Structure 1
Amino acid sequence: MDILFDSFEHLLDPDWIMQNGGLYLVLLILFIETGVFFGFFLPGDPLLFVSGMLIASVDEAYPFSLEILNLPYWLLLFMGSTIVGNFFGYWFGHKFTHFVNRKEDTWFLKQKHVQAANEFYDKRGGFAVAIARFLPIVRTFAPIVAGTVKMDFKNFTFYNVLGAVLWVGSITTLGYVLGETPWVLRNLEYIILGIILIVTLPVVLKLTLKKRIKAFPKR
């Protein structure tokens, strides 16, 4: 657990990011979290916010000397990374359906995570692929589940792109706009914690209420 917490701390440290691959490292992390089944623990939401701050605050050309060009450049790359990640997840679910739906847990694939994504997909349909971007864990497994149920590929592509635009565009731009605000810089840890709580609270509440309902069955 200590290693995991240390990893989170590094991934959300702007200085560490810039010293270890910069925002190109973020591209890899986003790809893994949005479609590779073992990437569910990665902190995509606060990472996008921190990336927005970096885009606004890096002094040297990164990569353009005109600062106004840097934000759309990275937005497109981040969106592309998450879109490709979802395509990989869809392909994996389509190709390895029996592996995904197996009853036994493994250290890297928990059936409770797959089941949560399944229930979310059943309730929301294709739109689940888009809005799942805002839900930790679910955003990793939603494209995999879409692949296992053989969701129409054209519909999947539409919602995949829509989700990438909404998720990356909103959180990264928010970080970019607020990134150079002194109060934000002084309270970055609390802001990141707040983002994590906001995006995870709906999932936690749903799981808690579900357990209580099961504990008190109807008579």
Structure 2
Amino acid sequence: MEYVAAFIDIVLHLDKYLAVLVQQYGVWIYAILFAIIFSETGFVVTPFLPGDSLLFVAGALAAVGGMNIGVLLALLVVAAAAGNMLNYHIGRYIGPRVFKWEDSLFFNKAALQKTEAFYEKHGGKTLVLSRFLPLFRTFAPFVAGVGRMNYLRFCVYNLVGAALWVVSLLLVGYFFGNLPWVKQNLSVVIVGIVVVSLLPAFVGWLQHRRG
């Protein structure tokens, strides 16, 4: 039982154990990171997995030679995009009946409903904006599938969102992650990235209001 609890703790807080896992598993750490990012974006029942902080810490470790930043960038963009594609198809298959499900340990109905409202307001841009918002990130492609969003349009927004999310957090971690102030204020840094990522949408909204 203790081994199971330890395994669950490592999975849920992989960002904290990443440096140790890099030393223990070597090149296999890339497969582990791929699986975590793919699962966090690919299944509506796994929004609790680390995303933002994991990418940031992975970038910081790459800066000190723990991993190759080029491999991380390519691999995790693919993981994030592929996860969303799977989630979209699951949403298309399950359909609107999912909104009748009740809350459970692995399903957050309130988060799903909030994501649907966000999607109705922002449309396809939700797939880009939600990348930087926990919970929304997991439910956005699912809602797009339920709503049967045009697949080609979905793929474009999905790839743009995956690239912006993965590249921005990995590179911020790579260039700034090992600074003492950044280490002590990781949550503040991530919020800052979210704010910057939302600026284009805010500017567009202002232009729409003025027009």
Q: Which range, TM-score by smaller chain? A: 0.7 to 0.9
Question: What does residue 38 of structure 2 align with?
Answer: 31
Question: What does residue 160 of structure 1 align with?
Answer: 158
Alpha-carbon contact 1:133-1:163 (below 8 Å) kept: yes
Give the TM-score taking structure 2 as reference length: 0.78
CA–CA separation in structure 1 for the residues paired with 2:188 and 2:162:
22
CA–CA separation in structure 1 for the residues paired with 2:160 and 2:194:
21
Check if 1:15 corresponds to 2:19.
Answer: yes
Q: CA deviation at 1:167?
A: 0.6
Question: What does residue 87 of structure 1 align with?
Answer: 85
Listed one character per residue, the Cα deviations across residues 9-38 of structure 1 (whole Å, up to 9, x for unaligned) are 443333233135423211111001112111
2:119 to 112, 118, 121: 121
Question: What does residue 170 of structure 2 align with?
Answer: 172
- The amino acid that maps onto 2:81 is I
Question: What does residue 215 of structure 1 align with?
Answer: none
Alpha-carbon contact 2:12-2:48 (below 8 Å) kept: no
Q: CA deviation at 1:196?
A: 5.8
Q: 1:169 to 1:197 in 2, by over 3 A?
A: closer
CA–CA separation in structure 2 for the residues paired with 1:112 and 1:176:
35
CA–CA separation in structure 1 for the residues paired with 2:107 and 2:14:
24
Question: What does residue 48 of structure 1 align with?
Answer: 55
Alpha-carbon contact 1:10-1:16 (below 8 Å) kept: no
Check if 1:191 corresponds to 2:189.
Answer: no
Listed one character per residue, the Cα deviations across residues 20-65 of structure 1 (whole Å, up to 9, x for unaligned) are 5423211111001112111111221011000101211126xx5xxx
Alpha-carbon contact 2:14-2:54 (below 8 Å) kept: no
- The amino acid that maps onto 1:194 is V
CA–CA separation in structure 1 for the residues paired with 2:147 and 2:9:
34
Alpha-carbon contact 1:37-1:141 (below 8 Å) kept: yes
Greater helix content: 2
* Count of aligned positions: 187
SS of the residue corresponding to residue 101 of structure 1 reads helix
SS of the residue corresponding to residue 13 of structure 1 reads helix
Can you give the 5+ residue segments of structure 1 that lack an aligned partner in the other structure?
63-69, 202-219
Alpha-carbon contact 2:10-2:17 (below 8 Å) kept: no
CA–CA separation in structure 2 for the residues paired with 1:8 and 1:196:
18
Report the more deviating stretch, 44-53 or 22-31: 22-31
CA–CA separation in structure 2 for the residues paired with 1:90 and 1:122:
16
- The amino acid that maps onto 1:12 is K
Listed one character per residue, the Cα deviations across residues 151-191 of structure 1 (whole Å, up to 9, x for unaligned) are 0001100000000111111110011112444x25xx62x23
Q: CA deviation at 1:198?
A: 5.6
Check if 1:71 corresponds to 2:69.
Answer: yes
SS of the residue corresponding to residue 63 of structure 2 reads helix
Question: What does residue 147 of structure 2 align with?
Answer: 149
Question: What does residue 209 of structure 1 align with?
Answer: none
CA–CA separation in structure 2 for the residues paired with 1:105 and 1:179:
37
